[in-house]
Amino acid sequence: HRAKTQGGGFALVTARESLHDAEMHSLSSELRAAIEEDQLVLHLQPIVDIAADRVQGVEALVRWQHPRRGLIMPGDFIPRAERSGLISELSNWVLKRALSSAADLHAAGWPLGISVNLSARTLLDPHFPDALAELLAAVDLPSRYLTVEITEDTLMADQQRTLDVVTRVANMGVHISIDDFGTGYSQLAYLKRLPASEIKIDRSFVEDMLVSRTDLSIVQATIGLAHALELRAVAEGIETESQAERLRQLGCDYMQGYYIGRPMPEDKFRDWLGAWDLYHASAGGPAGPET
């Protein structure tokens, strides 16, 4: 902080920082109430199987519909929930809601998978697998339809403990996905021991893959690595038709991004699914977004 070395600026910065702290503090106490009072909402973003040209599943992304501040994105409250010990309640809320959304979709004739993001904290908790088993037992949805997304850095906190929890979850038939792959501390030796089903190539690489030879190589190599390990390669953050087409050529398995569909509230997502189905049925046979 440059201002801190300049005498007079110090108080200003300190005041601003404590204001920020105070605001964050009130946010965490409000968050507790938000979980209880159902101010959280899940948005669903479609994930498409590229070769089959089919909606394979959805990723559940949490938002906080704050009564005064409006819609707050997860980047602005998940870290706070982690530090204030609210993350297990939040994870539980998200899982419960996501599983029931998926079960409702199944009942309505849409047998989609559901992917849920879990924090490192949650995966360090030895009680988590039992809690998850209870949630799964309470809903009419086979566990293979659930995918748990974890980031590489999640795995770094306490490798053995996390690996134990993740393995117990995988043994229940739940799929494990390595999210934002390539942006954290990837250890191939660890990846080898992880019972994962898929690797999600981070959006930052997809974003520049058509303009940067390096990013294209990284995307290509990650797809190759996934396939060599018999994992699915999933690309996130697809925003253009050219990116989608290139990923198809590279043999990427699944894709997700604004080009296909934005994260949407559940009712909007159902409308979106209906429209997708109509469009793809009328196109007749395998049709890519390019047709």
Reading the block at residue 13, the tokens are: 């910065």
How far apart CA 2 and CA 236 sit, in angstroms, is: 37
Residue 146's binding partner among ligand C2E, Mg ion, none (Cβ under 5 to 8 angstroms by kind) is: none
Contact string (CB under 6 A) for ligand C2E, positions 258-287, x = contact: x----x------------------------
Q: Are 166 and 201 in contact (CB under 8 A)?
A: no
Q: Considering only residues 5 through 44, tell me which ones interact with ligand C2E, judged by CB under 6 A.
A: none
Q: Does residue 175 sit in helix, strand or coil?
A: strand
Residue 219's binding partner among Mg ion, ligand C2E, none (Cβ under 5 to 8 angstroms by kind) is: none
Q: Which residue is closest to ligand C2E by CB?
A: 257
By the rule CB under 5 A, 180 interacts with Mg ion: yes
As measured in angstroms, the least distance from the Cβ of 223 to Mg ion is 16
Q: Considering only residues 56 through 75, tell me which ones interact with Mg ion, judged by CB under 5 A.
A: none
48-to-12, 199, 238 alpha-carbon distances in Å: 50, 15, 11
Binding residue for ligand C2E (CB under 6 A) from 119, 143, 162, 220?
119
By the rule CB under 6 A, 118 interacts with ligand C2E: yes
Reading the block at residue 224, the tokens are: 């190759």
Burial 63-87 (b: 16+ CB within 10 A, else e): bbebeeeeebebeebbeebbebebb
By the rule CB under 6 A, 169 interacts with ligand C2E: no
Residue type, 132: L
Among the candidate windows 80-88, 158-166, 179-187, 278-286, which touches Mg ion by CB under 5 A? 179-187
